[in-house]
Amino acid sequence: MEIALNFLMRRLATQYLRGSGISRARFRYSQQYPTRLFHASPVVQKVVPFMLADIGEGITQCQVVQWFVEPGSQVEQFDPICEVQSDKASVEITSRFGGVIKSLHYAVDDMAIVGKALVDIDVDDAISLDDAGSISQQPGSDKSEQLAKDDLTSMEESLQRQDTEQSQQVHPDTKEIPSASPEAALSTSRKGAAIATPAIRHLLRKLQLDIHDIIGTGKDGRVKKEDIDAYISSFGASEDSQRAAQPPHATMDSSHGDKVVNLTNTEKQMFAVMTESLSIPHFLYSNTIDTTNVEYTRKAIIDQKHLSPLFKTGATASRITMLPFVLKAISQAFNSYPRLNAHLDLKNNPAKPQLTMKASHNFGIAVDTPQGLLVPVVKDVQNHSVLSLAAEIGRLNSLAQVGKLAPTDFKGATFTVSNIGSIGGGVVSPVIVGPQVAIVGLGRTRWVPGFHTNAAGEEIVVKKPELTLNWSADHRILDGATTARCAEFVRAFLENPATLSLLLR
């Protein structure tokens, strides 16, 4: 009776499992091991992907500059994982979890996608459900279904191991397949993850050497600086021997002195941004400004030493240049011509473009640095005085020169000012960076002869300073008349700087 009852229960269970789509492997597993078929909470995988978060406004991808970890590295929470370069700045990415790095999803110089996995981390402890909810899944996947598939795969692998063990017991004379030759193993291992410190990897990139071409003599094959020096020395000796074997009167190629160089990260980002700007039809407008009164005001501030308590931290009288006056004049003009301080939205619906008038006057200022052209942002110019603008410009310029600008220093620009005149030149043709719709380039202030009426009513020739403002406007949004009127508004402010104080709030 008991045998018949067990047989009947097995038949009913088999029919149920077949009807519910559960594989025979899972059923066999349940017959060999006692199993509880209910769960109080979903299972969270221990290996989790670490996603690249948004590091700046509108940035969808960035370049991997260097890795600080490799597969097998132990990391703690907030340890640096890698350095990435966007079109604005270089940012160090830190880990959200503690554990062991399982795999890297990008190589150095690859473009990493925001929202996609950077690395896979085998976390030390079980993560909370809140953390698990923040781990992005591929579009269209279902977490519970994936976990069920993982459980089933684990069961089937266990059954396969059992079958293998039984097969080995039945055929004990079966010999193990010999491994590959040592040379092949060495070749395979040399193409795997090489061991080196971040400083050594940085040196290799600077020298444009492949780490896999260098034999490491350190512990576990770690590449050291001495190994790099030895490799370079051997490479130089090989070149000398090749030159000695050449005929004494060999004809030299005309391109013998050519040198191919890779673009820097900043140059690559500039290349991408400027390529997008090719689709913008530029309307150009230039006007010259007599800056006699502004220069008089600026020098008066410098000479008045007792005004130093009015300067904010980081500003001095000697730092009061023409630029803060120009920024303030443009901000005042934008109160009357707000279309120049706007963003053009073509992404949501290209067939129906929209223009967003920006309430804040956030002006990007182009800065020439050893790393290349950077454009930090002076925020809320409309709320600044000329003195506080000078202090903020000084702060951003100092940080830019040493590469210490934060990602927030590049966000939110509504208009750009290029002070190319600090290097030279008078007339330029600045390029608009979308989604902005306008930009202005400042030429160098130069002394020119001009007419002046003296107290006696006589016209005399005098020397006066003159500044050229070069405007570019998106002709799809701004017509020439609007751009010219705004430019002349700015000219009126700068030629009569006292009016600026009358309009300050």
Q: Are residues 318 and 418 in the same domain?
A: yes
Q: How far apart (Å, rounded) are the C-alpha atoms in residues 301 and 305? A: 8
Model confidence pTM above 0.75: no
- Which of 123, 150, 181 is where one domain is finished? 123
Whole-number percent of the chain with pLDDT over 70: 67
Question: Which pLDDT tens digit goes with each residue over 290-323?
Answer: 999 988 888 887 777 656 555 554 445 556 889 9
Average the pLDDT over 82-100 and give the result: 82
Q: How many domains does the chain have?
A: 3
Q: How far apart (Å, rounded) are the C-alpha atoms in residues 277 and 203? A: 35
Q: Are residues 221 and 287 in the same domain?
A: no
Q: Are residues 443 and 491 in the same domain?
A: yes
Decide if 297 is inside a domain: yes
Output the pLDDT for position 251: 54
User: What CA–CA distances, in Å, run from 416 to 424, 430, 436, 500?
Assistant: 19, 10, 8, 21
Q: Which domain holds residue 219?
A: 198-231
Q: Are residues 373 and 480 in the same domain?
A: yes
Average the pLDDT over 35-47 and give the result: 53
Decide if 250 is inside a domain: no
Q: Are residues 314 and 428 in the same domain?
A: yes
Q: HSE of 404 in the Cβ direction (CA atoms, 13 Å)?
A: 7
Q: What is the CATH number of the domain that holds 53?
A: 2.40.50.100
Q: Are residues 289 and 222 in the same domain?
A: no
Q: How far apart (Å, rounded) are the C-alpha atoms in residues 55 and 84? A: 10
Q: Is 479 a known active-site residue?
A: yes
pLDDT band at 10 (very low <50, low <70, confident <90, very high): low
Decide if 335 is inside a domain: yes
Q: Check pLDDT > 90 for residue 484.
A: yes
Question: Which pLDDT tens digit goes with each residue over 97-132?
Answer: 888 999 999 998 888 998 899 999 998 654 544 454
Higher local confidence (pLDDT), 272 or 87? 272
- Which of 123, 138, 173 is where one domain is finished? 123
Residues in contact with 274: Cβ distance below 8 Å, sequence separation at least 6, in sequence order: 431
Q: Are residues 69 and 211 in the same domain?
A: no
Q: Are residues 94 and 224 in the same domain?
A: no
Decide if 215 is inside a domain: yes
Question: Which pLDDT tens digit goes with each residue over 323-373?
Answer: 999 999 999 999 999 999 999 998 888 888 899 999 999 999 999 888 888
Q: How far apart (Å, rounded) are the C-alpha atoms in residues 219 and 204? A: 19
Q: How far apart (Å, rounded) are the C-alpha atoms in residues 460 and 449? A: 10
Long-range contacts of the stretch 438-441 (C-beta < 8 A, 24+): 438/340, 438/341, 438/471, 438/472, 438/473, 438/474, 438/478, 438/483, 439/415, 439/471, 439/472, 440/330, 440/415, 440/416, 440/469, 440/470, 440/471, 440/472, 441/417, 441/469, 441/470, 441/472
Nearest to 431 by CA among 280, 304, 302, 319: 280
- Which of 209, 231, 253 is where one domain is finished? 231
Decide if 212 is inside a domain: yes
Query: Among 12-26, 54-68, 130-144, where is mean pLDDT lowest?
Result: 130-144
| From 151, 229, 240, 479, the catalytic residue | 479
Q: Are residues 492 and 377 in the same domain?
A: yes
Rg (CA), the chain: 34
Output the pLDDT for position 300: 81
Three-state DSSP class for residue 82:
strand
Pairing of strands 438-442, 415-418: parallel
Decide if 88 is inside a domain: yes
In the block, tokens 């390529």 appear at 275
Average model confidence (pLDDT) across the chain: 76
Decide if 219 is inside a domain: yes
Q: How far apart (Å, rounded) are the C-alpha atoms in residues 309 and 16? A: 86
Higher local confidence (pLDDT), 265 or 286? 286
Q: Check pLDDT > 50 for residue 151.
A: no
In the block, tokens 């020397």 appear at 463
Average the pLDDT over 201-228 and give the result: 81
Q: Is 475 a known active-site residue?
A: yes
Handedness of CA 167, 170, 171, 173 (dihedral sign): positive
Q: What is the CATH number of the domain that holds 360?
A: 3.30.559.10
Q: How far apart (Å, rounded) are the C-alpha atoms in residues 154 and 463? A: 87
Q: Check pLDDT > 70 for residue 186.
A: no
Output the pLDDT for position 88: 65
Q: Check pLDDT > 50 for residue 141.
A: no
Q: Are residues 211 and 275 in the same domain?
A: no
Handedness of CA 399, 400, 406, 408 (dihedral sign): positive
Decide if 30 is inside a domain: no
Q: Are residues 220 and 74 in the same domain?
A: no
Whats the size of the chain, residue-wise? 505
Q: Are residues 386 and 307 in the same domain?
A: yes
Q: How far apart (Å, rounded) are the C-alpha atoms in residues 465 and 446? A: 5
